[in-house]
Structure 1
Amino acid sequence: MDVMLGYSKDGLFMRVYYPTEETVSIETNHASWIPIIPDADYIKGLSTVTMLPSFFLNLAWNYSGHTRIPAVYGAKARVTDKLNCIIFSHGLGALRSFYSSICVELASRGYLVAVLEHRDQSSCHTYYFESEAAAKANQKTSIEFKHKKLGNGHFELRKEQVHYRMGEVCKALDFFLALNGGEVPHNVITDVPTRREIKFELSDLVGKIDVESLSVGGHSFGGATALLALSRREEFKQGILLDPWMYPIKEEHLDSKVTKPLIFVNTYTFHIVNNVKAMEPYLTGEKTRRMFTILNSTHESQTDSVFLVGYWLNWFMKKIDPQVATNINNYLILRFLKGQTKNKENIDDCVIYLRDNDRHFSEGLTKPWA
């Protein structure tokens, strides 16, 4: 379910994944699925990010059959047990729906995952509504992606953005803490006309969030955002860092400020010298901090794009099957979370899968790729 808080840019926009009370098989209930790409504005935004003509992206989008997320949109939440909550920050040029292959798996295991769509111009595209009337008329105020070339001002922009993003993560944390305590804000998305039946109510989550095991995570730019948030808020108990882009936080010296358990899951092509050296201080002498690298994977392996258009980075490299890469990525996360949270899900299948596929990943600070 999409959740938007407040009629201004200063509010929040996120996609929330959660276990539901649905009894109909999700695999056969295709009518309830929604496209990974929300609408044409996001295609234009992705065109801006990739600097490819939107014509080509529209072709790819049409060829992929408007690929949909295999989950029921707006279903009633299942809250028989308290939910372990994960706040997730997307990468540069991404959007709230681009990590469904991770989030659907986590939600199916009993986790509540909230993926922010950041409003610092690092999302490929996003929007807000200026009033209730604007929402009911579906009149969006757009926020577009901002390009910045390497060189003068690049680091300063990324530093400014990572702090803005961290602020949004902290707002989301405050929202879930308050919601668990009984403060139920209005979800602006429910103002927007839709033909879908929406059973999801924020009020159903009151008292149903395990605030003692809150997690923060992110991919790439989002990984840096998560580390910065971990250094600022004690309520976060662990961090999930997927190919974290350490450059925007290189002046923060966070290794002495981040004291919680961490998992780093790197892809093969992003396991590079400067980035790995920046991660190394976070791993020294800590048994609850581990790093893994998925062999023959690329930076896109931790997003949905590989299932939409196939691999398009590092064309001449032999690559791992994308489903295998996704399974390894997700099962490493699940095994880590099982050790840190009170989640009751049996993860024996994860352990078996990792054991049978350990040739596809390596642990520790192996020699960075040049």
Structure 2
Amino acid sequence: MSKTLYTNGTQHTPFPRGPLPVGCKDVCTEGEDAVLFRMFFPVLGKKVPYEEQDPASWTDWYLGQPYSTGFAKFIITTQSYSMWILRALSPFLFLYGDWLTKSLKVPTAWLGGEQPDEDNAARETPAGAKMPVLVASHGMAAHRSVFSCLASDLASHGFLVLVLEHRLRNDPKFFVRERRKLAEPNASCSPCASRDGSSCASFHVGPASSRSWMIYSGYERESQLDRRVEEVFGAVAAVRRLNDGTLINELEPDHKLSAFKGALDVNNMALLGHSYGGTTTLRVLADPRNCFKVGVTLDPWMFPVRADPEALGRAVAIPVLSVSSEDFNQGANLKALRRLRDAHKTEESMFYTMKGTTHHHGNDAPWLAGRLGWWITSGNYTHPPEIINELQNNLILTFLDKYLDIEDRRLLASVIPVYEQFIQENKGILLED
């Protein structure tokens, strides 16, 4: 089920439930292996009720026309409906998706493109504790804004959440230069522009802040997954530089990120992924370089690792929470995930399926798709989206609270019992695999 939320005439994703206000900004690191991500983090100051805030100060969910174009292309090439119908509807799908998300806001203070004062730039909890870090990996043809509901909710509970945008290696031959408007008739991307890129669109920053764009073109199998894994480790390096006070943001090179220096608990990091990001999460956790304490997979897409899920399961030696949807986790995907689960010997790990849910419940889709968009993306109406969203977020927060060594638990201590009670009240939705 999809649901549209409005406050003061503005459409938005759900309000973060935690006790802290949340800030947000985009960051792109330097160099050939630069990573692009959206960062959600708690800010100091009194939390003003969201109904009393000016939505104009909130973060835009919409990232631009290239992203709508890329996602429409993904829908057209992957859905099971008659191809000729979808091809005929492609201009409408692009316009509809673009219109649907253009005015959507995320109830977090946008701190990009400006020099916030010390209060707005602050990142510590009122108790002065260091922030545990969660890195998020999106699914196929998604982008850095697609986890805004979950990321803002976690940040309001004291976490720094870094949502990656999976994209290409910074090689000029894979790109065409951005024109003033990508929608111009002769402003297109080269046919090979999306090799190993799995976001619906993305860009690299060039000289004089120019942008080289790429648009989604398809799944590239193992090479793409390998690249995603490296991007996650690139994000880990960025977190460490952020904590050291040495990270430079190519999107705002003159804006210092010094407010984050020493504010992160880099020894307490979690990794989360949805769909293809779930597979990416498992691969990273199995890598000898893994530095994450726990992992969370939402509806992991097992196709890329279907050849030997047992080996992957044995290689993951830390606690994992896996939450799958009923409509997606069937057939070959379910068999592969169960083979991985049976080979995975970490007793603290938990594997659930949520009844009456679809693959898109794992991200922001229920809050932006609209009824027509929800139908196109195979949505259903079994459970209210706010129940599924709260249940999923509560499972994640209680899991992180239990298995991360959080420096100051006072923020979570007051809410975890309430979240655990909600899980118990809705345990009929959960199937324990």
With the shorter chain as reference, the TM-score category is 0.7 to 0.9
Aligned counterpart for 1:118 among listed residues 157, 161, 166: 166
Aligned counterpart for 1:272 among listed residues 315, 324, 330: 330
Q: Does 1:55 align with 2:122?
A: no
| Counterpart mapping for 1:314-325 below 5 A | 317-325=380-388
Alpha-carbon separation, structure 2, partners of 1:315 and 1:47: 14
Alpha-carbon separation, structure 2, partners of 1:274 and 1:249: 12
Q: Is the 8 A contact 2:68 2:97 kept in 1?
A: no
Aligned counterpart for 2:424 among listed residues 348, 355, 366: 355
Amino acid paired to 1:121:
G
Structure 2 counterpart of 1:31: 56
Name structure 1 gaps, 5 residues minimum: 149-156, 193-197, 366-370
Q: Is the 8 A contact 2:41 2:159 kept in 1?
A: yes
Alpha-carbon separation, structure 1, partners of 2:379 and 2:234: 42
Q: Does 1:288 align with 2:348?
A: yes
Structure 2 counterpart of 1:229: 284
Structure 2 counterpart of 1:151: none
Q: Is the 8 A contact 2:135 2:161 kept in 1?
A: yes
Structure 1 counterpart of 2:172: none
1:236 is displaced (CA, Å) by 1.1
SS at 1:218 equivalent: strand
Structure 2 counterpart of 1:106: 154
Alpha-carbon separation, structure 2, partners of 1:287 and 1:24: 39
Q: Is the 8 A contact 1:298 1:314 kept in 2?
A: no
Aligned counterpart for 2:123 among listed residues 70, 74, 78: 78
Q: Cα deviation per residue 1:39-62 (whole Å; 9 max; x = unaligned)?
A: 122111211111252433433543
Amino acid paired to 2:199:
S
Structure 2 counterpart of 1:20: 43
Percent identity between matched residues is 28
Q: Is the 8 A contact 1:17 1:107 kept in 2?
A: yes
Q: Alpha carbons of 1:273 and 1:25: their partners in 2 closer, same or farther (altered >3 Å)?
A: same
Q: Is the 8 A contact 1:2 1:15 kept in 2?
A: yes
| Counterpart mapping for 1:110-259 below 5 A | 110-119=158-167, 120-131=196-207, 133=208, 135=209, 139-148=210-219, 157-180=220-243, 182-191=244-253, 201-232=256-287, 233-251=289-307, 253-259=311-317
Q: Alpha carbons of 1:179 and 1:59: their partners in 2 closer, same or farther (altered >3 Å)?
A: closer
Q: Alpha carbons of 1:317 and 1:73: their partners in 2 closer, same or farther (altered >3 Å)?
A: closer
Number of equivalences: 342
Q: Is the 8 A contact 1:61 1:308 kept in 2?
A: no
SS at 2:234 equivalent: helix
Amino acid paired to 1:326:
N
Q: Is the 8 A contact 1:238 1:261 kept in 2?
A: yes
Alpha-carbon separation, structure 2, partners of 1:234 and 1:67: 36
1:316 is displaced (CA, Å) by 8.4
Q: Is the 8 A contact 2:357 2:380 kept in 1?
A: no
Structure 2 counterpart of 1:368: none
1:351 is displaced (CA, Å) by 0.9
SS at 2:323 equivalent: strand
Which stretch of structure 1 is more off in the superposition, 94-103 or 76-85?
76-85
Alpha-carbon separation, structure 2, partners of 1:53 and 1:92: 19
Name structure 2 gaps, 5 residues minimum: 1-24, 77-88, 112-119, 168-195
Structure 2 counterpart of 1:152: none
Alpha-carbon separation, structure 2, partners of 1:33 and 1:246: 36
SS at 2:264 equivalent: coil
Q: Alpha carbons of 1:259 and 1:208: their partners in 2 closer, same or farther (altered >3 Å)?
A: same
Q: Cα deviation per residue 1:258-301 (whole Å; 9 max; x = unaligned)?
A: 10000000011112132222222443443211011111110011
Alpha-carbon separation, structure 2, partners of 1:323 and 1:236: 29
SS at 1:34 equivalent: strand
SS at 1:312 equivalent: helix
Alpha-carbon separation, structure 2, partners of 1:316 and 1:130: 39
Alpha-carbon separation, structure 1, partners of 2:98 and 2:365: 11
Alpha-carbon separation, structure 1, partners of 2:159 and 2:269: 10
- After TM superposition, where is structure 1 displaced by more than 4 Å over at least 4 residues in a row? 313-318
Structure 2 counterpart of 1:153: none
Amino acid paired to 2:72:
S
SS at 1:234 equivalent: coil
Q: Is the 8 A contact 1:240 1:333 kept in 2?
A: yes
